[in-house]
Amino acid sequence: MCEPYIELRSELDAELLRILNYWVLNTLDEANGGFSGMIDHYNQIIPNASKGIILNSRILWAFSAASNHLKTQKYTSICHRAFDYIKNHFYDTRHKGVFWEVDHKGNPINKRKQVYAQAFCIYAFSEYYIHSQNEEAKRLAIEIFDCIEKYSKDDEKGGYMEAFGEDWSTLDDVRLSTKDMNADKTMNTHLHILEAYTTLLKIHKSKKVRDSLHHLVNIFQNNFLNKKNHYELFFDRDWNLLSNTVSYGHDIESAWLVLEAAKCIPDKDLQTACETSVIKVADTFLNEAIDAEGAVMNEKNMDTGSLDDDRHWWPQVEAMVGMKYAHMLTGNNRYLEKSIGIWKFTKKHLIDCQNGEWHFRVDRNGNAYTEEYKVSMWKAPYHTTRACIILASAT
């Protein structure tokens, strides 16, 4: 392995600790429990901000995964705090599953069952169980898995439906956010079901989980991945494509996550196909998504050619992970060199050395958008901690 990459691994070890330290020191909500719902660009807590399940489940996953990676009990109290808050405030004891949002005091204010959120809780509870051996966490992970399989899985058409009401009834508007299309099936939700089931299988060796994971890998290979080596984003129930936008971060993140899922399935041909896909997606990504400075651009409308060249924090680190996988499969140091270039850009423009944590995004000139938050529904320590853990590992 090239010497600069060894240096990068050392820097990522240190960055992981800095990220965790920021969240411990700045986000605990001592007045209301759990964690603050929003902290602005300048590190000021937004009073009475609501709290989202995505933020809270990602905090639980990040601290559990870091504890497992570092083999430490240092963050165990944070893990317990995150799990207890989700269980006591987001979990629906009547209909099962988790709510989308609570107010600052922990009272539910949006009870919809977004499947994306259910998946993140499976992911977080499973990782937390590995750290804590908390049997309730394992039980809830399996219970939510059963809910997804019962209500969301489309046995007729394949794949999973997007969202439901509090009682798992159908909804007219199933969007994950205002930026998304109102589509029955989305790549993003399927991706996080896949990563959740991959981790659940580690703690629950169930044929049903393995079969569902196998189904998901096939969906990614046959429905989402197109002939131009991009993952399509939005579909109706019958798998008719609804958009022609490429999300570069999701492309490279999907490639390596699908391969990890395939490794859990006793289907060598499928795993080999996924390995080939990683290389093809990585090469296309390098040709299209990275600018001269080494930054990963956000997305492109392939119909109009319109390019969103803002640099969001999370595609940078997902790209670095994807490059590592491509290197492991090929032995080509070109991928490591690109990863180092992305890290140099990230250190220069996205890590906030003054206030801590990372900027949400910067423009093409490296200027941060100061209206974006350091902590919010969508800004959590998940992508960054995961990348640090994977990239700093020896293999």
d(CA 109, CA 107): 6
Query: What is the separation, in whole angstroms, between the first and last Cα of the chain?
Result: 10
**Could you tell me which of 116, 119, 97 has the C-alpha nearest to residue 108?**
97
pLDDT category at 6 given cuts 50, 70, 90 is: confident
What SS3 class is residue 243? coil
pLDDT tens digit sequence for 226-242: 999 999 999 999 999 99
Q: Which domain holds residue 167?
A: 3-392
d(CA 263, CA 273): 11
Q: Which CATH number does the domain housing residue 111 bear? A: 1.50.10.10
Phi and psi (nearest 5°) for 317?
Answer: -75, -35
Q: According to DSSP H, which parts of 244-369 are helical?
A: 248-262, 268-288, 313-330, 333-349
**Could you tell me which of 191, 272, 286 has the C-alpha nearest to residue 229?**
286
pLDDT tens digit sequence for 300-359: 999 999 999 999 999 999 999 999 999 999 999 999 999 999 999 999 999 999 999 999
User: What are the angstrom distances between the C-alpha of 148 and each of 61, 116, 157, 166?
Assistant: 19, 10, 16, 13
Element (H, E) at 61: helix 53-70
In which residue are the tokens 């809910």 written? 147
State residue 290's pLDDT score: 96
State residue 393's pLDDT score: 80
d(CA 271, CA 260): 9
pLDDT tens digit sequence for 270-289: 999 999 999 999 999 999 99
- Is residue 1's pLDDT more than 60? no
Q: What is the domain count for the chain?
A: 1
For residue 284, the tally of other CB atoms under 10 A from its CB is 18
> What is the mean predicted confidence (pLDDT) over 136-146?
98
For residue 3, the tally of other CB atoms under 10 A from its CB is 7
Which pairing describes strands 299-301 and 307-308: parallel, antiparallel, or unpaired? antiparallel
Q: Is 34 exposed, middle or buried (0-12, 13-18, 19+ CB in 10 A)?
A: buried
